[in-house]
Structure 1
Amino acid sequence: MRILARVDFSRALILQAIGRCPPSRIHKTLSLPTSDFSLIPPLLYPTRRETNSPNFALSEMVTPKIGKERLPTDAKKILESIASSWGVIIEDVNLFQVIPLKGAMTNEVYQIKWPKRDSESESRKVLVRIYGEGVDVFFNRDDEIRTFECMSHHGQGPRLLGRFSNGRVEEFIHARTLSAFDLCNPSISALIAAKMKEFHDLPISGPQKVLLWERLRNWLETAKTMASTEQIKEFRLDTMGGEAGEISFLEKTLSHENQCIGFCHNDLQYGNIMIDEETNSITLIDYEYASYNPIAYDIANHFCEMAADYHTEMPHILDYTKYPNADERQQFLRAYLNCADKQLKNLELDMLIKDVEMYTLASHLLWGLWGIISEHVNDIDFDYIEYARQRFREYWQRKGMLLGSSG
């Protein structure tokens, strides 16, 4: 999940003028009632073995009343229904505990905890997610919800327990969110590679159309609408669009018939990866940007995210010395392809290595544009423009290194 916040309501007219992020082309999903909220029976999906660590860091305890006041009435009705399905009779809805969780910046996220009964070893928990406002400038919320439902259906990520008008109730995964340091761990990296391959191979319904280039063009137009004259000049935004622009150049240069298209996460930074440390199983969460794309792009984007640590005093600063070296990239891709050295088709590995390096350029452009837009729609204490500046700087440097041209 990216560092996003609520859009200032005074910018509503701007957002209407610039349009919305295009849908991710997922048309056929699980059918759900169209009422304001719907309860998904917990037994609809396979049960998941629980472990010990929560998937978000617990914030310091606040007065429970504050959290409960944030819960919409229809969300409380779903919680009552879930509790009843577990055989937990709640005469007073205020008996459950509401604990705000850190780590989710797009939405408000709460752990809901029921009083532990004598026969239970621990309390029952679920997660309530209240959607942030204004994020539809980056993605389509309806598509994200459908993707979440599909992921639940395929046993990926948390199970969907219920929906209400501006949020949803999810299974609470007892696992640890990764840190920036974890991405450098070869054992964890191999697990992530295998999970990405599994994710890319999911049979998600809908046309397998690449969304990357359409998203880049839409974000470029949005950024140009919001950016100042100085920012447009600094980031060379006028050179990005059109048939002779950077985006079209990349699309023509990177696209080829033999590239593999899969259903991609598109935002695989460490905060969107969880690990069950008892079973070493990996879970990918938060599918706001998920769509069909070249798998090489998804892997390239993950490699680029190794330069980031969003939990420092200066979370916008990127350290590209942490970008995986050639041996580390090859090791990751071998784990992704899941082939022993003797059986590995060198041509397949070599092609993927080259494609991944090239698609880092698209990653830098996309998140550079994201930084410019975020500066104008978010109120989080984060230096989005400096973040964008680093991504564009890395784009031009890597373009010169990979293609022999820096302008």
Structure 2
Amino acid sequence: MEITPVNIRESRSRSRSRSRTRNSTANSRSTSSTRRPSLGSKKSLSSSSINKITIIPTQIDNERSIPSVQVFLDNTLPTEFFKQDILALTKTLKISKWHKKQLNIQNLIINRISGALTNSIYKIEYHDSAQNLYLPALLLRVYGRNVDELIDRDNELQILVKLSQKRIGPRLLGIFTNGRFEQFLDGFTTLNKSQIRDEIISQMLGRRMKDLHYKIELDAKDYEKLPTCWYLIEKWLKIIENEYLPGYVQAKIDPKTIFFMNFQDYKSLIFKYKDWLFDKYDELEFSLNYKFCHNDTQYGNLLLHESFKPEDIIVNQGDSDEVNIKSTSNKKDSNLVVIDFEYSGPNFPAFDIVNHFSEWMADYHDPIKSYYINEEKYPTKLQQLNLIKSYIEYDFQYPSSNLKTNKKPQEILNDTSSASRLIQSEIEKLYNECIYWRPSVQIFWSLWGLIQNGPIKSTTEIENGTMEQGIDSTYNITTALDSIHLEDIKDLPVIEDGEAITSSDDDFDYIKYSNQKIALILGDLIQFRLFDKEYINVLDRDLIKYLNTDLFEI
């Protein structure tokens, strides 16, 4: 069953080169309310019609299931209708504490919250002081546009079910076609670009990553495919080549302005790097390195409880052969929560860790250059080792990977006179792996940005107003058995105009963001001796971004 818009069309003309941010939420990664559509007379879902829709349970385990319904929630509706639809969905999905109450939309409070990626995220509250009725807050997630080619929602749901079985992350409460309700984690707020640089919080994150990597089992089929990041990289390369490049050419955009070279040369370079990277591991046991990875450990996906105090977990001032840092305990680690598993799957832990390091360079709240990647903000060697040391020492696993080294694992065991030296060797190995995998992170998000931006239309299409299809004033809910026309339902309120809660279209420049990521890729590959900067236009060479590629001798 699906909900499809019908009737009135509204066209808008604008370039898609500046669209939604990775955050897709208010006050995060650059948002704007200036592009709300002129809605005119619109109708929304109604509780009388939505209650007729069949609920399909999604089983979590033998005792628990999550109600699911094939209904599309339009978060571009004016506030009154959006609230009405939310309440209707809470009843249909039988959300605990909500669905049995007679609720008034005037007492419903909706707040956009920051920290999301390709979604719009809302905190939903109900406060009725007259009746002393205060319902537990809900988190409403509405999936963003232009993400069908980025995210496999069926796979995401399977992962969320697996996490629910392990009691990891917020509880799923109800699922609809383009989103879901989740438990709202009271007292938790998203980290910011400054907090992730805190050495105590960074150590906590190292341990939380280790828990995720080693305590969530992979299925047998997960070992039969490429690492998640490379599976998606290859998929997205095909989409850009087959669907996007023709539009670039038609719009008279030279791909060199994005990739610093022809796309085919760039594609060849990516696969050259892939072969170089994969060759650093035992070919026959390559997939044994896979762990369950989040694959998007940016600070907006990290929540910290407001009661957390760093001094509560500082043990002493420890040291190792390379660094002298504080030692902390894991007794408060539950105060740090990782959310949003849209891109998660089997991958190398080094990808997760260096993805997080790469996010240190971004400031998605910058009012002018939210797309900009500041390479000077990349963590220092000491800051990287601070997290990596915490990761390795916690629930120590040997070997952490089968990265090829100058010595075989047994030789390392024989040569290490103490446990601390063995741990140090694993720290150095993972540090090197993070550098090797760093271009994979930038490739992944550069392609993501281009697809999230959407196809670039020609000037003619823009001038003719055919760039985007507007929304309709009425909706049809259809199933295999019948069709309910909501425009036939009586007594629905209709407003001529009102405040729209939009899907957060904004001025984030995905093209520039991707170009910044590609500048980082080339900087690493030049230093890896996989690419010669002489192939880049002289005027563009100063745009290449270079990060430290010094390695440990292992």
Would you say same fold, with TM above 0.5? yes
CA distance in 1, matches of 2:79, 2:238: 43
Runs of 4 or more consecutive aligned structure 1 residues displaced over 6 Å after TM superposition: 116-122
* Residues 338-382 of structure 1 deviation map (CA, whole Å, 9 limit, x = unaligned): 259826433322221111001111111121122222222595311
Give the aligned partner of residue 226 of structure 1.
244
1:250 is displaced (CA, Å) by 2.1
**Identical pairs, percent:** 26
1:83–1:89 contact (8 Å) kept in structure 2: yes
Identify the match of residue 370 of structure 1 among 417, 426, 448. 448
Give the aligned partner of residue 144 of structure 2.
132
Aligned pairs, number: 356
Give the aligned partner of residue 193 of structure 1.
206
CA change 1:185–1:391 in 2 (3 A) is same
CA distance in 1, matches of 2:166, 2:131: 32
CA change 1:114–1:193 in 2 (3 A) is same
Q: Does 1:101 align with 2:112?
A: yes
2:91–2:100 contact (8 Å) kept in structure 1: no
Letter in 1 for 2:196: L
1 or 2, which has the higher helix percentage?
1
Give the aligned partner of residue 183 of structure 1.
196
Q: Which runs of 5+ in 1 are unaligned?
A: 6-33, 46-61
Give the aligned partner of residue 380 of structure 1.
506
Give the aligned partner of residue 216 of structure 1.
233
Give the aligned partner of residue 351 of structure 1.
429
RMSD: 3.3
193-202 vs 215-224, which deviates more? 215-224
Identify the match of residue 300 of structure 1 among 334, 354, 358. 354
CA distance in 2, matches of 1:330, 1:178: 20
Identify the match of residue 267 of structure 1 among 296, 313, 326. 296
SS at match of 2:303: strand
Identify the match of residue 83 of structure 1 among 76, 91, 97. 97
Q: Does 1:391 align with 2:405?
A: no
CA distance in 2, matches of 1:140, 1:125: 28
CA change 1:162–1:365 in 2 (3 A) is same
Q: Which runs of 5+ in 2 are unaligned?
A: 1-20, 26-52, 65-76, 309-331, 397-418, 457-504, 534-554
Give the aligned partner of residue 332 of structure 1.
387
Q: Normalised by the size of structure 2, how large is the TM-score?
A: 0.58
Q: Does 1:153 align with 2:165?
A: yes
Q: Normalised by the size of structure 1, how large is the TM-score?
A: 0.77
1:394 is displaced (CA, Å) by 1.1
1:193–1:333 contact (8 Å) kept in structure 2: yes
Letter in 2 for 1:269: Q
Give the aligned partner of residue 289 of structure 1.
343
1:4–1:135 contact (8 Å) kept in structure 2: no
Structure label with greater radius of gyration: 2
2:202–2:386 contact (8 Å) kept in structure 1: no
CA distance in 2, matches of 1:402, 1:276: 41
1:333–1:353 contact (8 Å) kept in structure 2: yes
CA distance in 2, matches of 1:213, 1:81: 38
2:296–2:356 contact (8 Å) kept in structure 1: yes
1:396–1:406 contact (8 Å) kept in structure 2: no
CA distance in 2, matches of 1:392, 1:398: 10
The structure, 1 or 2, with the larger RCO (C-alpha pairs under 8 Å, 6+ apart) is 2
1:117–1:123 contact (8 Å) kept in structure 2: no
Letter in 2 for 1:180: K
